[in-house]
Amino acid sequence: MAIYREKDIFERRNAASDAKKALLERFKQRPAEDDPRVLARKAEREAILAARAEREAEKARLKQEKLAREAAERAEAERIAAEQARIREAEEAERIAAELALEAERKAKRDARYAARKARGGRLPPGFSGR
């Protein structure tokens, strides 16, 4: 069985110092800004960003076209609905006018029958003298 031994202050200090040195070495090994690999990666990132911006612009253009097309379709549908409503109103007005004319014709016939019956002294309802 392994015996657990706690590190003393000196070992912890040396470990921290070694970690800082390793971090500094890694930073120093980093290539400079004018290194061809760094420039190539930077150019690649810029190309990716440019392509992304181009895709987003195309997407925005397509969205605007879709919105314009939908607005035109909505306007056409509204125009058709308004035309159909106008036609329905005209048909309803014609139907009402025809119904009123028919009712007036029936009333005129009824009045003519009543006047003819009255003129010939025809049958009167009981209790009605007519004078």
Task: For residues 23 and 19, give the distance between their C-alpha atoms in angstroms, rounded to a whole number.
Answer: 6
Question: Per the domain annotation, does 4 fall within a domain?
Answer: no
Q: What is the pLDDT of residue 54?
A: 98
What's the pTM?
0.46
- Assigned domain for 84 exists: yes
Amino acid letter for position 5: R
User: Does any domain span residue 127?
Assistant: no
- How much is the pLDDT for 53? 98
Tens-digit pLDDT string for the chain (131 aa) = 567 777 788 889 999 999 999 999 988 888 888 888 889 999 999 999 999 999 999 999 999 999 999 999 999 999 999 999 999 999 999 999 999 999 999 999 999 999 998 888 766 666 666 55
Q: How many domains does the chain have?
A: 1
pLDDT for res 8: 87
> Does residue 55 fall inside a structural domain?
yes
78 lies in a domain?
yes
Q: Which domain holds residue 76?
A: 27-95
Report the alpha-carbon distance of residue 77 to residue 71 in Å, rounded.
10
| Helical residues (DSSP H) of the chain, grouped into ranges | 9-29, 36-119
Which pLDDT score, from 0 to 100, does residue 6 have?
Answer: 78
